[in-house]
Structure 1
Amino acid sequence: MELRQLEAFAAVMSTGSVTGAARLLSRSQPAVSRLVQELEAEIGYALFTRHGPRVTPTEQGFLLYEDVDRALGSLQQIHLRAAEIARGNAQPLLLAATSALALGLLPQALRRVEAQTGAVPIQLRSASPEQVVHAVLSGAVQLGASSLPLEHRGLEVHWIGEMPCVAVLRHDDPLAAHEAVPLQALAQRRLITMSNPFRLRHRLDATLARAGHSPARREALIETNSSVNAQALARAGLGVAVLEPLTAYGAPLEGLAVRPLDTNIPFVFGVVTPQAKPITPPVRALIDALLAAASALPHFVQHDASAHAALLRTLYGDDRGNDHDDQSSDAAAGDDSPS
């Protein structure tokens, strides 16, 4: 494979046509078509189906694009970094975080860092917990912030935080009058929550099941992969959102009330860096600033990094905790399956 072939393929995927890709790359249309055809010949399968001047990505094309996009992005970062080194610029902070921490914690922490050290270049990637871990393990970023589990070989966990989940609802909702929303009251309401069954959703379902209510059997349940989406749905009056607290407190939407639940559903998260790599002063300052920003939020409890395994057993039960520990070891050995 050649870089020009991958660039042509990515450009066609992004623009939806060979003509648009040619304009984007400042190349001729026949040249872009030839580069894509050479790439298809190299890999042995079609990336697009042709309909005259229009093209449609094949399933294999969509799958390959995910990796090509990441690779081209990394090359672009190298190009930019090379130019920064030539100009004598400071190394940027390369960060990856789940959307909850990227929205609810990192902005305040970065503001603290820049107040102390001045402005620094920042590259922040929002990703799933599994992708955050992979980015740190691969060295693509200097620091990751994510929910547990984080106990993979090759990661250094600096601190772990715990906060109870909250109910987010319209400010004029009758439940907003409660200081703490009764869990039993949610049995009569439409719930909005996360779709990932192995993290927050797992604990919510288990807690409601112990109270004699299983939302998994409710047709009215709304699932989403974003806390911001859940807040917007709650603001529209479509239900009560049960969410992790970082987004609810750190990036609240106007017109919503945030209330604790009368039953603790813990949300546990941590900060990690690549193991056996030196930590630069800006990264160290950010680790401390993240802890300070989290400590300012309601009901925050700090745990030592050594408490990771015990916290997993508390969250998932003995068997589930052991399973996560095993999966963490597998991932470190090269298994990229979600944990």
Structure 2
Amino acid sequence: MNIKHLQVFSAVYETGSVTRAAETMHLSQPAISKSLAALEAEIGYSLFRREGTGLQPTPEANLLIEDISEFLHGFEQLTASFKRAGRGDRGLVRIAATPGPSLGFLPGLVAEFMRQNPRTNVSLKIRNSASIRELVATGNADIGIADTGLQSPRYDSQPHRMVCLCAVHRSHPAAALDVIQPEDLAGTNWITLGQEHETFHQLASAHQQAGVQFNSTLTVDSSIQALLMVELGAGAAVLDPLSIRLFTTRNKRDNRDVVLKPFQPTIYESIDVHSVNARPMSAAARSMLLYILKALDA
């Protein structure tokens, strides 16, 4: 059954005239009459009878109009859904990220993306880097943000290198400096992400070159933990800008006790943004990926 024939039937039923139906649908009168005749021939009975200058629906037409109107409304919604899906504003986007980006960087970004794409569903999971790479490789996540690691043909990767900031308690003398150097924190305990993390080795090298002892006394699993420990006066830390975003947003509201300053020599932290290639990405996932990459480059 031709959808156009049903649309013509509905227009004629609502207007009571081939002429007005043609005007409504921007078609010629012969096209309306031909379509209506084709529908009647297909179903085997008449839908309208002529009375004066207009058309009156038959009892059969009166029985059909409600179902046909409901069907056409559903068809219009489906057509609109196809268009929204093509624009990337409908669908499911699955993101997996390490704790820092998950808590500091992504919440605001995802919230803004969903405001712009209100019919898109987003799943955000916190995982370690190895799990993130496996989720993306197997197609169980569309996008992953992880510490820099092994590249693989099982997913696409885009590296990003970030300049870290130094976090100290506001009571520390170094909090008043414009730039903090290793000698400014002599005798201060350092809170780190462990010896396997790239920032640890850069810090150790910076202290060695400055001739200052590197006191790494507290190891934590995430930059968010490190920030909380700095706030409690447990030491200093160098942290990536993605994790710091949570703190800087809350700091404006809560007047917290952590001060962030540039550190010299510069300490870098690298991340990889992974995307699935085991299957085609949805339009929504592609839009989210571009949104993330643009924010990282800002």
Specify the TM-score bucket, using the shorter chain as the normaliser.
0.5 to 0.7
Partner residue of 1:256 out of 252, 255, 258: 258
SS in 2 for 1:121: strand
Other-structure match for 1:147: 147
> Shift of residue 91 of structure 1?
4.1
Rate the CA distance shift 1:138–1:211 in 2: closer, same or farther, 3 A.
farther
Give the whole-Å Cα distance in 1 for the aligned partners of 2:213 and 2:151. Answer: 30
Give the whole-Å Cα distance in 2 for the aligned partners of 1:196 and 1:127. Answer: 20
- The answer to whether the 8 A contact 2:138-2:278 is kept is no
Runs of 5+ consecutive residues of structure 2 not aligned to the other structure: 1-89
Post-superposition CA distance 1:77-109 (Å, at most 9, x none) = xxxxxxxxxxxxx64221110111112221232
- Once the two structures are overlaid, the 10-residue window that deviates more, 264-273 or 190-199, is 190-199
Rate the CA distance shift 1:278–1:214 in 2: closer, same or farther, 3 A.
farther
Post-superposition CA distance 1:106-130 (Å, at most 9, x none) = 1232133223221422221111112
- The answer to whether the 8 A contact 2:104-2:244 is kept is yes
Other-structure match for 2:118: 118
Larger radius of gyration, structure 1 or 2?
Answer: 2
Aligned length in residues: 203
- Once the two structures are overlaid, the 10-residue window that deviates more, 90-99 or 227-236, is 90-99
SS in 1 for 2:120: coil
C-alpha RMSD over aligned residues: 2.1
Percent identity among equivalent residues?
22
Rate the CA distance shift 1:295–1:112 in 2: closer, same or farther, 3 A.
farther
Give the whole-Å Cα distance in 2 for the aligned partners of 1:250 and 1:295. Answer: 18
> Shift of residue 143 of structure 1?
0.9
- The answer to whether the 8 A contact 1:94-1:142 is kept is yes
Give the whole-Å Cα distance in 2 for the aligned partners of 1:197 and 1:112. Answer: 34
Rate the CA distance shift 1:255–1:190 in 2: closer, same or farther, 3 A.
same
For 1:59-138, what aligned pairs fall within 5 Å after superposition?
91-138=91-138
Runs of 5+ consecutive residues of structure 1 not aligned to the other structure: 1-89, 297-339
**Structure 2 letter corresponding to 1:138:** T
Residue 236 in 1 paired to residue 238 in 2? Answer: no
SS in 2 for 1:225: coil
Structure 1 stretches of 4+ moved >6 Å: none
**Structure 2 letter corresponding to 1:124:** L
Partner residue of 2:282 out of 274, 280, 283: 280
Post-superposition CA distance 1:172-225 (Å, at most 9, x none) = 32211111111222232111111252433233333333333453xx4x611111
TM-score calculated relative to the size of structure 1: 0.55
Rate the CA distance shift 1:280–1:179 in 2: closer, same or farther, 3 A.
same
- The answer to whether the 8 A contact 1:196-1:225 is kept is no
Residue 165 in 1 paired to residue 167 in 2? Answer: no
Give the whole-Å Cα distance in 1 for the aligned partners of 2:98 and 2:125. Answer: 8
Give the whole-Å Cα distance in 1 for the aligned partners of 2:116 and 2:122. Answer: 15
Residue 175 in 1 paired to residue 165 in 2? Answer: no
> Shift of residue 149 of structure 1?
2.0
For 1:169-208, what aligned pairs fall within 5 Å after superposition?
169-195=168-194, 197-208=196-207
